[in-house]
């Protein structure tokens, strides 16, 4: 996923190494790594929470929304894609259930 945080954190870590003690800088670097990694996993999981939509659809919505609309697209993109996905499934579901309910005809014409 496109992450701006990594590009911003690298100069900050370098700055902390230049200005603070080594222990503080290493702890800051480890903290940034853990938080950055958790963000990549938690954001799609939390956006998917409560919706029966595959995580791939949510992730594509996050990426596409961010690329298309920037920061607002991080939230609008997954919503639009998830709603579209559920509408498409609901549209296809009745057609599948109608085929299952039709009795097989045996060629004889009934009156």
Residue 79 lies in a domain: yes
Residue 12 lies in a domain: yes
Residue 109 lies in a domain: no
Residue 25 lies in a domain: yes
Residue 80 lies in a domain: yes
Residue 46 lies in a domain: yes
pTM of the model as a whole: 0.45
- The whole domain housing 32 covers 5-98
Residue 83 lies in a domain: yes
Residue 111 lies in a domain: no
Domain count, the chain: 1
Quickly count: other Cβ atoms within 10 Å of residue 74's Cβ: 18
Tell me what pLDDT residue 46 has: 65
pLDDT band at 11 (very low <50, low <70, confident <90, very high): confident
* Residue 23 pLDDT > 50: yes
The pLDDT tens digits for 57-96 are: 888 888 888 888 888 888 888 888 888 888 888 888 876 6
């Amino acid at each position: 996923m496109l992450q701006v945080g990594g590009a911003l954190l690298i100069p900050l870590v370098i700055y902390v190494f230049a200005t603070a003690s080594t222990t503080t800088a290493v702890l800051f670097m480890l903290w940034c790594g853990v938080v950055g990694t958790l963000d990549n996993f938690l954001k799609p999981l939390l956006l998917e929470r409560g919706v029966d939509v595959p995580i791939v659809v949510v992730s594509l919505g996050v990426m596409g929304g961010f690329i298309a609309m920037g920061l607002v697209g991080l939230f609008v993109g997954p919503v639009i894609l998830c709603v579209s996905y559920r509408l498409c499934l609901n549209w296809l579901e009745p057609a599948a259930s109608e085929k299952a309910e039709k009795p097989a005809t045996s060629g004889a014409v009934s009156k």
